[in-house]
């Protein structure tokens, strides 16, 4: 009988990596450390054989968000690996985002053997189930015996734990020595495919009315816009969306259209069908709440948003029965109001401002590019001011809508696309500045980052707390930094622009690699005033 060699930790690391590759994993992200040496060395060998793309990052939080970005772009689970102790805790934000977005992400945390837990051993903490809000249960792997079935046990456990619709935490006990022979027991071929997402039966629409609307969250809950368009054609209900870049089927400027309470009453729906989550606009949420009957379509209601309430809840788009009666004037009224706003906006946004810059950027990005949009003002300005268009693949971290990890996520997406762009605020830029910390031997993303720089938290100037005592200290948070110099300190080309034409000129460049465009904006108070002026002027249409 073959036996486990005297160096079982390297064997365990090699089997984990080999099993992930058998499960079609093609990228992995590592953060440097000692206890994770058996894994990182196995990954290095796999990358040398051309079986996996290996990415190294110094900052564990950025490493996890980089892996999240790769998973977003590929739909394939991406592992991120770190050593034991506080390093592992830095994975939590990305795992939370993955959980709430129903995305695959594999956090692999190296650990000391169990006999050293809670013993005062260096760099040791409670790593089992350390991500309770994101992970149902940690898979803990350790060498337990010298039987031939040990390898099969490891493989089976990994294959069962990893899913396509949720993150996974694998904690691995590595005993010393961490380096040694790989002459292991016979390798049992044990291929198990990735557990797929649960399929749902397409139920019929339980209630129908001529005056209904479809309201689509930013990520469409994973439902193709072409399928949403078919549903719209079958019901006569217009498509309103937080994301106008889904295509020309979407009505433009939904949040501006519904900002006026009188217009919300004019277009009051009998039925509203919400696809995904609505997280951006109070006006849209007020409009949805006014409907007589609400339908939610989102697969996350099965395991994540289990307490979501509606008259009907579906995991996939319901079927539309034949022979229903349509009211063509209902859809046309929405279209006419949207077109009037589109006609007026160019006159309102003809000078340098945050919404004007974002509107220009989105219109001029090249077809076929990927666009990552940060939370706070950028994603809301796109929702309100961008014209619907085709040719852009959009991404955002809307699971928890945090500003952490945005640059790393965008880099991960860019590593899986020919050309990518990101639009972020200056606080999101600084919050994840280590996302730009890329080693000289690393694959560099073809990514242009557009920073809307207003020296602080611009969104707070548009919220009710805008006039509270101490606003600048506790909400505005000015940083006073030269962001061009900050980017250049990370070895990234950067330039500042202060006009729409200068922004257009920079976007037209066909440069390859990582670079930053700093859109230097007027003060935040002026932007808040402009937004109010625009909203007020459109209520008269």
The CATH number assigned to the domain holding 219 equals 3.40.50.1220
CA distance 105 to 84: 18
- Identify the pLDDT of residue 4: 45
- 106 pLDDT tier (thresholds 50, 70, 90): very high
Confirm whether 202 is domain-assigned: no
**Judgement on whether residues 401 and 316 belong to the same structural domain of the protein:** no
Three-class DSSP category at 66: helix
Backbone phi and psi for residue 172, each to the nearest 5 degrees, phi listed first: -125, 120
Domain-located, residue 204: no
**221 shares a domain with 99:** no
3-state secondary structure of 443: coil
> Is the domain of 250 the same as that of 105?
no
Average pLDDT over residues 326-352: 93
Task: Report the distance separating Cα 213 and Cα 273, nearest Å.
Answer: 6
Q: Mark residue 230 as left, alpha or beta (left: phi above 0; alpha: psi -120 to 50; beta: remaining).
A: alpha
Q: What pLDDT does residue 270 have?
A: 96
User: Which of 173, 196, 226 finishes a domain?
Assistant: 173
| Domain span holding position 532 | 349-538
pLDDT, tens digit (0-9, with 9 covering 90-100), for 521-532: 988 888 888 988
Q: 83 preceded by cis ω (within 30°)? A: no
Quote the strand ranges of 68-167, DSSP E: 79-82, 106-111, 139-141
My answer on whether 277 and 368 are in the same domain is no
Dihedral of CA 131/132/137/140: which sign?
A: positive
DSSP string, 286-307: HHHHT-SEEEEE-GGGTTTSTT
Domain boundary (147, 173, 199) is at 173
Q: Is residue 26 located within the same domain as residue 45?
A: yes
DSSP single-letter state for residue 352: S
Q: Supply the angle between the helices 354-364 and 377-385 in degrees, to the nearest 10.
A: 70
In a domain, 284, yes or no: yes
- Is there a single domain that holds both residue 31 and residue 83? yes
How many other CB atoms are found less than 10 A from the CB of residue 114? Answer: 13
Q: Provide mean pLDDT across the span 129-144.
A: 95
**Residue 526 has what pLDDT?**
87
- What average pLDDT does this structure show over 533-541? 81
| Same domain? 227 vs 282 | yes
User: Do residue 135 and residue 232 come from a single domain?
Assistant: no
- Is 508 part of a structural domain of the chain? yes
How many structural domains compose the chain? 3
3-class DSSP state of 13: helix
Angstrom CA distances, 515 to 366, 476, 484, stand at 16, 27, 10
- Alpha-carbon torsion (136, 140, 145, 148), positive or negative: positive
pTM above 0.95, yes or no: no
> Which residue would you say has higher pLDDT here, 119 or 324?
119
The DSSP symbol for 36 reads: T
Helical H runs in 236-312? Answer: 254-257, 261-266, 282-289
The answer to whether residue 370 sits within a structural domain is yes
Percent of the chain with pLDDT over 90: 74
pLDDT one-digit tens code per residue, 165-186: 999 999 999 988 888 777 654 4
Q: What is the separation of C-alpha 432 from the centre of its chain, rounded to a whole number of angstroms?
A: 14
Tokens of 438: 């890329």
Query: In 85-211, where do the E strands start and end?
Result: 106-111, 139-141, 168-173
Supply the mean pLDDT for the chain. 91
Report yes or no on 205 lying in a domain: no
371 in the same domain as 507: yes
Last-in-domain residue among 144, 173, 202: 173
357 plus 484 within the same structural domain? yes
- The predicted model gives 191-209 an average pLDDT of 76
CA 439 from centroid of its chain's CA atoms? 24
pLDDT in tens, 35-45: 999 999 999 99
Per-residue confidence (pLDDT) for residue 306, from 0 to 100: 94
In angstroms, rounded to a whole number, what is the distance separating the alpha carbons of residues 369 and 135? 33
Residues 31 and 163 occupy one common structural domain: yes
3-state SS assignment for residue 464: helix
User: Does a structural domain hold residue 494?
Assistant: yes
Closest CA to 459 of 515, 527, 397: 527
pLDDT for 217 equals: 93
The span from the CA of 308 to the CA of 415, in Å, is: 35
Q: Three-state DSSP class for 419? A: coil
Residue by residue, what is the 3-state secondary structure of 431-482? HCHHHHCCCCCCCCCCEEEEEEECCCCHHHHHCHHHHCCCHHHHHHCCCCCC
DSSP string, 199-253: P---PBPS---SSEEEEE-TTGGG--HHHHHHHHHHHT--EEES-GGG-TTSPS-
The reply to whether 270 falls in a domain is: yes
If asked whether residues 12 and 153 sit together in one domain, one would say yes
**CATH assignment at residue 70:** 3.40.50.970
pLDDT of residue 68: 98
Check pLDDT > 80 for residue 460.
no
């Amino acid at each position: 009988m073959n036996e486990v060699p005297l160096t079982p930790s390297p064997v365990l690391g090699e089997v984990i990596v080999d099993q992930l590759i058998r499960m079609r994993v093609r990228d992995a992200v590592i953060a440097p450390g000692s206890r994770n040496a058996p894994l990182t060395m196995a990954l290095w060998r796999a990358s040398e054989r051309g079986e996996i793309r290996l990415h190294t990052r110094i900052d564990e939080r950025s490493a996890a968000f980089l892996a999240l970005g790769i998973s977003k772009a590929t739909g394939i689970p991406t592992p991120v690996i770190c050593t034991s102790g506080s390093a592992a805790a830095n994975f939590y934000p990305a795992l939370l985002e993955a959980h709430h977005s129903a995305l695959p992400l594999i956090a692999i945390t190296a650990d000391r053997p169990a006999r050293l837990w809670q013993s005062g051993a260096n760099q040791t903490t409670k790593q089992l189930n350390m991500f309770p809000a994101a992970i149902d249960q940690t898979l803990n792997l350790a060498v337990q015996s010298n039987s031939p079935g040990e390898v099969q046990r490891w493989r089976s456990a990994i294959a069962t734990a990893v899913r396509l619709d949720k993150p996974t935490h694998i904690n691995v006990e590595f005993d010393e020595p961490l380096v040694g022979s790989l002459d292991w027991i016979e390798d049992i071929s044990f291929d198990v495919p990735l557990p797929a997402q649960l399929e749902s039966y397409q139920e019929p629409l339980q209630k129908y009315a001529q005056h209904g609307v479809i309201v689509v969250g930013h990520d469409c809950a994973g439902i193709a816009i072409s399928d949403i368009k078919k549903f719209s054609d079958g019901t006569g209900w217009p498509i309103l969306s937080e994301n106008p870049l889904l295509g020309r089927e979407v009505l433009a400027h939904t949040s501006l259209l519904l900002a006026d309470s009188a217009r919300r009453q004019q277009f009051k729906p009998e039925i509203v069908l919400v696809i995904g989550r609505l997280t951006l606009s109070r006006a849209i949420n007020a409009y949805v709440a006014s409907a007589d009957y609400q339908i939610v379509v989102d697969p996350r209601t099965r395991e994540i948003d289990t307490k979501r309430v509606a008259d009907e809840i579906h995991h996939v788009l319901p079927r539309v029965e034949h022979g229903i009666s349509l009211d063509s004037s209902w859809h046309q009224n929405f279209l006419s109001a949207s077109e009037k706003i589109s006609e007026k906006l160019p006159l309102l946004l003809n000078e340098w401002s945050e919404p004007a810059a974002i509107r220009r950027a989105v219109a001029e990005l090249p077809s076929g590019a990927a666009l990552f949009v940060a939370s706070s003002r950028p994603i809301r300005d796109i929702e309100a001011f961008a014209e619907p268009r085709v040719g852009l693949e959009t991404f955002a971290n809307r699971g928890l809508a945090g500003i952490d990890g945005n640059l790393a996520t965008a880099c991960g997406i860019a590593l899986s696309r020919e050309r990518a762009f990101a639009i972020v605020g200056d606080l999101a830029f600084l919050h994840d500045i280590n996302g730009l910390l890329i080693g000289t031997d690393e694959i560099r993303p073809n990514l242009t980052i557009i920073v809307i720089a207003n020296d602080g938290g611009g969104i707070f100037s548009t919220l009710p707390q805008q006039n509270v005592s101490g606003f600048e200290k506790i909400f505005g948070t000015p940083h006073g930094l030269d962001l061009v110099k900050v980017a250049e300190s990370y070895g990234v080309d950067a330039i500042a622009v202060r006009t729409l034409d200068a922004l257009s000129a920079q976007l037209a460049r066909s440069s390859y690699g990582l670079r930053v465009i700093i859109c230097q904006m007027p003060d935040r108070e002026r932007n808040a005033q402009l937004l109010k002026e625009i909203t007020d002027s459109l209520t008269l249409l």
